[in-house]
Each structure stands twice: as structure tokens, then as C-alpha cells.
Structure 1
Amino acid sequence: MSGNNQTRDVFDAIADPMRRELIRLLAEAEEVPLHELTSQFSMGRTAVSKHLTVQKEAGLALDRKVGRETRFRLNAYPLQEVQDWAAFYSKFWRVNMLRLQQLLEEEEE
């Protein structure tokens, strides 16, 4: 986990398809009220709120009260940890596929 006062691992926050969809919705808008997010899913407000809490604990979602409404926005910074992790394995596979290709070419000769 990186800085940001995170209490939950960012990988946990993106592990669930519902939470990944929430990230997509938040990324598409500057700020989204909870009731608009809830309307995008076939589950109740409480379930959506629980998923948003996981994302808030990972630093991915930020919220603010406007009157009686809670609005959410994306903080994409913690996703850099995921990008860095995936980049390492992308390089790993690129190198190993190149080695495999070289071995196959050597066997053909």
C-alpha cells in the first residue's frame, strides 16, 4: 500500500467487478451523487455504499456532503500502484516470450 492514509489495499478495492465498474463511473464524471451511482446497479443503496467505503478506505473514492446528498469523485492516484505492479509483469512476459521465440528459432535451425 502506498501513502495517502490508506487503510485498505488498492488491489482489494479493485478485486470486485462491481467496484471496478464504480471506478469507471467515477472516472467518467467530475463528481457523482450516491443516488446516481446506485441507479446504475441492481442492488440497493446500502450495498453500493459498502463498495464505495472499500474504495474510500483504499483512497480511490473521495466524498463530500452537499446538503443531504453525498457526492463521490475518483482519486486515481492509488491506481498507480496497480499500474506499477502490472508493468513489472508485462516486462516479465515480454522478456520470457522473447526467450521462447529465440529457443524456437534455434530449434528450427
Structure 2
Amino acid sequence: MTQPETVTAVMRALADPTRRGLFERIAETDEITVVELTRAGTVTQGAVSQHLKTLKEAGLVSERPEGRKVYYRARPEGLEPLATWMTHYGIFWRERFADLKTLLKDIDP
């Protein structure tokens, strides 16, 4: 099983809807700057930078400085602790779907 603190960091980072939105925007591009992320106008540049710091600490984004700009890129492998944790509980869903399948067969043979 994955380290609990790693899973917790990823969950906390993605629990905030603004951070989750930023992560999704970053994941849709190859690389993006803070300025580009701020253009939507809903969050200040300072707030975007703070959210990016949290995403980086959770291992969800990486940064590449180039001159005065810093480019951010999604790290899909950063989601691995969360995916591993969810897979561990996959048995719960398989059992529920099996029960649902049985129920549906009983209702409509």
C-alpha cells in the first residue's frame, strides 16, 4: 500500500476546487506559466502561485525556469499514490456491482 502521507498530500492538494481546476488546466497543456494561468481572472497571481506551490509539494506538477518565466507541467505519475489507494478499495466496488447485477437479474429475468 502507498505511504499514507503521500496519499494525504495528493488528496489535500486536489480537495481545493481552485487547485483542482489549475491542475486540470495544466494537464491540458504541455507547459504553462503563472501569467497564462492567471488570465482567466478568477484568481490573483499570488494565489495561483500559492496553489502551484501546494501542487508541486504534492508531486502533481513540476516547474522549469526559463529567464524570468517559470513553466509548469503536470506530472501524471503524481496521481499514482491516489490511484493505488483507490485500487486497494476496488474490491468494494466489484462486490457492489456484482450485487447490483444480481438484483437486476432478479427484477427482470
TM-score normalised by the chain length of structure 2: 0.77
In 1, Cα distance between the equivalents of 2:41 and 2:79?
23
Q: More deviation in 51-60 or 63-72? A: 63-72
In 2, Cα distance between the equivalents of 1:31 and 1:100?
43
Match for 1:30: what amino acid?
Answer: D
1:63–1:104 Cα change, 3 Å: closer
1:12–1:41 Cα change, 3 Å: farther
Partner of 2:98: 98
1:32–1:99 Cα change, 3 Å: same
Q: Which structure 2 residues correspond to residues 61-100 of structure 1 after superposition, within 5 A?
A: 61-99=61-99
Could you say what the CA RMSD is over the residues aligned between the two structures, in angstroms?
Answer: 2.8
Larger helix proportion of the pair:
2
Q: How many residue pairs end up in the alignment?
A: 106
TM-superposed CA distance for 1:57, in Å, is 0.5
Match for 1:38: what amino acid?
Answer: T
Q: More deviation in 86-95 or 47-56? A: 86-95
TM-score normalised by the chain length of structure 1: 0.77
In 2, Cα distance between the equivalents of 1:66 and 1:100?
54
Gaps of 5+ in 2: none
Q: More deviation in 95-104 or 64-73? A: 95-104
Find runs of 4+ consecutive structure 1 residues off by over 4 angstroms: 100-106
In 1, Cα distance between the equivalents of 2:19 and 2:102?
41
Gaps of 5+ in 1: none
Whether 2:63 is the aligned partner of 1:33: answer no
Q: SS of 1:70's equivalent?
A: strand
Q: SS of 1:78's equivalent?
A: helix
Residue identity over aligned pairs, in percent, reads 36
In 2, Cα distance between the equivalents of 1:77 and 1:105?
40
Q: SS of 1:43's equivalent?
A: coil
Whether 2:4 is the aligned partner of 1:19: answer no
